[in-house]
Amino acid sequence: MQAGTYQLKLSAVLSGGTFLSVNTDLVYPNGMDAIQVTVQEATPLVAGFTADATEITAGCSVNFTNTSTGYQTSRTWTFEGGNPATSTEENPTVTYSTPGTYRVSLTITNACDDEDTKTETSYITVSAPELSADFSADFTSVAAGNTVNYTNNSIINSCDNDIHYAWTFEGGTPETSTEENPSVVYCTPGTHNVSLTISNSDGENTKNRNITVTENPLVADFTASTTEIEAGNYVNFTNTSTGIDINSNVTYEWTFEGGTPETSTEQNPRVLYSVQESYPASLAVSLKVTTPCDSKTKTIQGYITVTEPVNVVAPVANFICDSAIVEVGGSVHFTDISRNLPETRQWTFAGGTPETSTEQNPVVTYSEKGTFAVKLVVSNSAGRDSITIENYITVIADPIADFSCNTTEIEVGGSVNFFDRSTNEPTSWQWTFEGGTPETSTEQNPVVTYSEKGTFAVTLVVSNLAGEDAKTETNYISVVTDVEDFAVDNVSVYPNPTSSILNIEAENLVSVTILDMSGRIVYFAAENCSATSIDLSGFANAEYMVKVETSNGSSLKRIIKTR
């Protein structure tokens, strides 16, 4: 039918061939005896398509998108060198297994038998897979006892992302590894081979290099800022051990006779020497140095001489603790490091048990979540001093996992925005999305795409220094095809496509929601009827999802808004 305005009249033929004329005045009392219909020009039929990639590696797939204009009743794709070789889907996915350059063609037709074809020659270029092993190291010559970090630099052009790494480290610890970027300790001097083999379903490749390890004997040693002091003063100790060089896996174990602290694992600690039983006091210092290859200890008896203070001066208050962040119910060990020999101490612990103490180094328990101040007042015969640190102790509780999302019902290919609703300040998040892309995430509020029809679970594990918690919602996300109902049938949404009025009919209608294809709600209305109409004339020309809620369930339909 051509574009124009037409008059339609109604007539009927009864059984037996008798012609019956219908009096339209009974239908239209105002005298109208025909229905006027306007037929508009159709959008021209023009074939077109795009692909998400035109240069791929053999074994990879290409997603094609039909971008044709005009109303279409059928499509016929032809994929030279592809699998499948032909398709009638609107947006097919095709796998190419053989290197080469290939043609793609799309023919579309409509109900009037009009058709149009688009052909792209040399459209898809398929290259052969490539595996080329290579690696680098932060050192090619290193002293014994040190760690070398290896970095995989292999060239991998393949659709098989299941890459296996097989390292061999002659003279190293570990001797082998399957990590992508391993770290290795070398304890034995000499020239050693390093080998990396990468492999997947396309094959394997190996790269060899050498590393030189030099002699590096471990010797524990230390110095002090002074070896003779008056009681109430500090000594700064400096580790001067050799044979450790650049190694990051070194531990230090100090022991200070008569000092505060009595032990330390710092590399260069600071130690207070206060009241002794008698003067002068000759006190030992010991240092144990441990590397992955060796351990050495140095002890000097009588290294520090502490003498009786000549003049008593007013103390200077100060303190430290073993941990300023603690879980609810945990304890903190406080250490008085005040100078000038305080004789008395008065601690105040907001939120703690005990709330006060006169001990030199008390232990305090915190039973409630929050941040709390600590105050210390010290005194001697020369005077007094105090120090208060606000918000010094932070008490945290186990997190409680919870989450929500912007929609639980989407069409295949749609995305869902997830939101962390956990309490008690988690510091890390581990999501698992059954059927989603990505399958896992450590973001706080990830966005996930669902490409297959089904009903899928979501799991969130949250953690902080206090502990962790998990929440799983089974059958949480429903993914459907573009015209599939979620739960109920007998829902009518028409006309489709529509340029203005959209009619909805459903028994026990509760609400109607219209979403754009990103999942954003653009219309919502609560209903209490069996039919309603919505004016879409102000909506942009696009595709929308219509969610119809009834007392028996819900249904999701896709519609097209046209001019």
Q: How many CB atoms lie within 10 A of CB 296?
A: 18
- The whole-angstrom distance between residue 323's C-alpha and the CA centroid of its chain comes to 29
Q: How far apart are CA 207 and CA 201, in angstroms?
A: 18
Owner of token pair 């002074």: 226
Q: Which two tokens stand for residue 531?
A: 């039919």
Rank 1-10, 185-194, 538-547 by mean pLDDT and report only the highest. Answer: 185-194
What is the mean pLDDT of the segment spanning 395-406? Answer: 92
**Helices (H), ranges, 109-201:** none
**Residue 178 phi/psi, 5° resolution?**
-115, 10
Rank 4-8, 388-392, 410-414 by mean pLDDT and report only the highest. Answer: 388-392
Q: Residue 24's pLDDT is what? A: 47
- Furthest-apart CA pair in the chain: how many Å? 136
Q: Residue 354's pLDDT is what? A: 96
Q: In degrees, to the nearest 5, what angle opens at C-alpha 284 toward C-alphas 280 and 288?
A: 165
Does residue 107 surpass a pLDDT of 90?
Answer: yes
Q: Which two tokens stand for residue 471?
A: 């929440």
Q: In degrees, to the nearest 5, what angle opens at C-alpha 100 toward C-alphas 98 and 104?
A: 100
Question: CB within 8 A of 318, min separation 6: which ones?
Answer: 336, 337, 338, 339, 376, 387
Q: What percent of the chain has pLDDT over 90?
A: 60
The amino acid at 537: S
Is the CB of residue 184 less than 8 Å from the CB of residue 211? no
Q: What is the DSSP string of 296-361?
A: EEEEEEEEEEEE--SS----B--EEES-SEEETT-EEEEEE--BS--SEEEEEETTEESSEE--SS
Q: Residue 175's pLDDT is what? A: 95
> What is the pLDDT of the chain when averaged over all its residues?
88
Task: Tell which residue, 133, 154, 158, has the closest CA to residue 58.
Answer: 158
Does residue 545 surpass a pLDDT of 60?
Answer: yes
pLDDT in tens, 420-429: 999 998 999 9
What is the mean pLDDT of the segment spanning 174-189? Answer: 94
Does residue 4 surpass a pLDDT of 80?
Answer: no
Q: How far apart are CA 68 and CA 65, in angstroms?
A: 9
The amino acid at 332: V
Q: Residue 219 gets which letter from DSSP?
A: B
Is the CB of residue 288 less than 8 Å from the CB of residue 253? yes
Task: Tell which residue, 393, 391, 415, 396, has the closest CA to residue 462.
Answer: 396
Strands (DSSP E) contained in 226-318 are: 228-230, 233-239, 251-256, 259-260, 263-264, 270-273, 281-290, 295-307
Is the CB of residue 97 less than 8 Å from the CB of residue 58? yes
Q: How far apart are CA 532 and CA 268, in angstroms?
A: 79
Strands (DSSP E) contained in 40-129 are: 49-51, 55-57, 61-66, 74-79, 82-83, 86-87, 93-96, 100-109, 115-127
Q: Residue 285's pLDDT is what? A: 98
Q: How far apart are CA 55 and CA 160, in angstroms?
A: 16
What is the mean pLDDT of the segment spanning 281-297? Answer: 94
Q: How far apart are CA 444 and CA 459, in angstroms?
A: 13
Q: How far is CA 396 from CA 322, 366, 462, in A?
A: 16, 10, 14
pLDDT in tens, 306-355: 998 877 889 999 999 999 999 999 999 999 999 888 889 999 999 999 99
pLDDT in tens, 26-70: 444 444 455 555 555 667 899 999 999 999 999 999 999 999 998
Strand 203-214 with 141-143, pairing? parallel
Question: CB within 8 A of 278, min separation 6: which ones?
Answer: none
Q: Residue 100's pLDDT is what? A: 96
pLDDT in tens, 446-470: 999 999 988 899 999 999 988 899 9
pLDDT in tens, 491-543: 888 888 888 999 998 888 888 999 887 667 889 888 888 889 999 988 888 88
**pLDDT band (50, 70, 90) for residue 14:** very low
Q: How far apart are CA 397 and CA 37, in angstroms?
A: 71
Q: How many residues are there in the chain? A: 563
Q: Which two tokens stand for residue 383?
A: 């005077």
Q: How many CB atoms lie within 10 A of CB 423?
A: 13
